[in-house]
Amino acid sequence: MTTSNKELSSLQDAKYYLALSKSLPDAEVLDEVVRSFPEHAQELTEFAIDLALDAIGESGEAGLASENNSPAVSRAISRFHNRLYVERKAGSPPSPPSSSQTNPFASMGRDELRTFARNINGNLPFVMKLRDRQIDADTIPEDFTRLVSKELDVPLDLVVAHFQAPAEIRHSAHFKSDEKPEANLKQGFEEAVRNSGLTLEQQAFLLSS
């Protein structure tokens, strides 16, 4: 790597560089970035292809935005407050909270979470509740805990400890920053199954475990 390449500190920065260089990316800028990150050539090329396709026919700003917050915007604001709470709690300067020591899901990306969801006949929202310990451990069936242990390929004790730990708050719980998140926000297993957008078949499978 050259000195200038060191400044391109991450693959993510490379993607943003691609996106910001030109409204419609071209071979010149893509080749430049790929030379800096030859190990990520395929990822960057595929990203550039999606960027280019997305930019076709674009004339400027998007259409009118609502003057009221949609549910999606409200939930995003909740995520902001949740994360802000965690960042403040962690002190200044802010840094990402980490429970990776005990959370067997901590290192999993979304694709891995999706795969895991399929393997347990669940879906992503349900798995995120498991990841963020939003389900009361006492209500989780033992067979289901064993299934999670098997699919995650981690010791059963670790999964039990994870479920019994306080709720993880940084990702998807919905409350304002002035409301301290507590473990008692945890749902029962059945409630979590019923309220995760699972199909009836998936619910039946999970509740039969």
Partner 1 sequence: MALPALTKRYPNGNIYQRPAQIESAIVNLLEEDVEAIANRANIHNVSDPDYVPSECIVHLIRAARRRDDELAMTALLPPLLRRCESILISKISQDLPNVDEIREEVLGQLSELFAADGGGDNPDKLDFFETRFNLAFRALRIDILRAERIQAHSSIPTAFEDEDDSDSDDEFFTRLSKEFHTPPSQEKEFVLKQIQQAIYRLPPAEREAVVLCCILGYEQESDDPKKRTAATICGVTGKTIRNRLRRAATRLSQFKELIQ
String of DSSP letters for 18-45: HHHH-SS--HHHHHHHHHH-GGGHHHHH
Considering beta carbons, is residue 39 or 61 the nearer one to partner 1?
61
Q: Taking the CB of residue 142, how many other CB atoms lie within 10 A of it?
A: 10
In total, the chain counts a number of residues equal to: 209
Question: Measured from the CB of residue 66, what is the shortest distance to partner 1 in angstroms?
Answer: 6
Q: What token pair was written down for 204?
A: 């039946």
Q: Which amino acid is at 80?
A: F
Q: Which is nearer to partner 1, 47 or 189 (CB)?
A: 47
Closest to partner 1 by CB, 79 or 194: 79
Burial class (CB in 10 A: 0-12, 13-18, 19+), 157: exposed
Q: In the complex, what is the shortest distance from the CB of residue 175 to partner 1, in angstroms, rounded to a whole number?
A: 14
> In the complex with partner 1, which residue's Cβ is closer, 162 or 170?
170
Residue 157 CB, nearest approach to partner 1 (Å): 30
Q: Which is closer to partner 1, CB of 49 or CB of 204? A: 49
The residue among 72 and 184 lying less far from partner 1, judged by its C-beta, is 72
Closest approach, Cβ 186 to partner 1, in A, equals 21
Minimum distance, C-beta of residue 97 to partner 1, in the bound complex (Å)? 10
How far apart CA 8 and CA 14 sit, in angstroms, is 7
Neighbouring residues of 120: CB distance < 8 A, sequence distance ≥ 6 = 127, 144, 147, 148, 151, 206
Q: How far is the CB of 126 from partner 1 (least distance, A)?
A: 13
In whole angstroms, how far apart are CA 22 and each of 16, 51, 53?
11, 10, 13
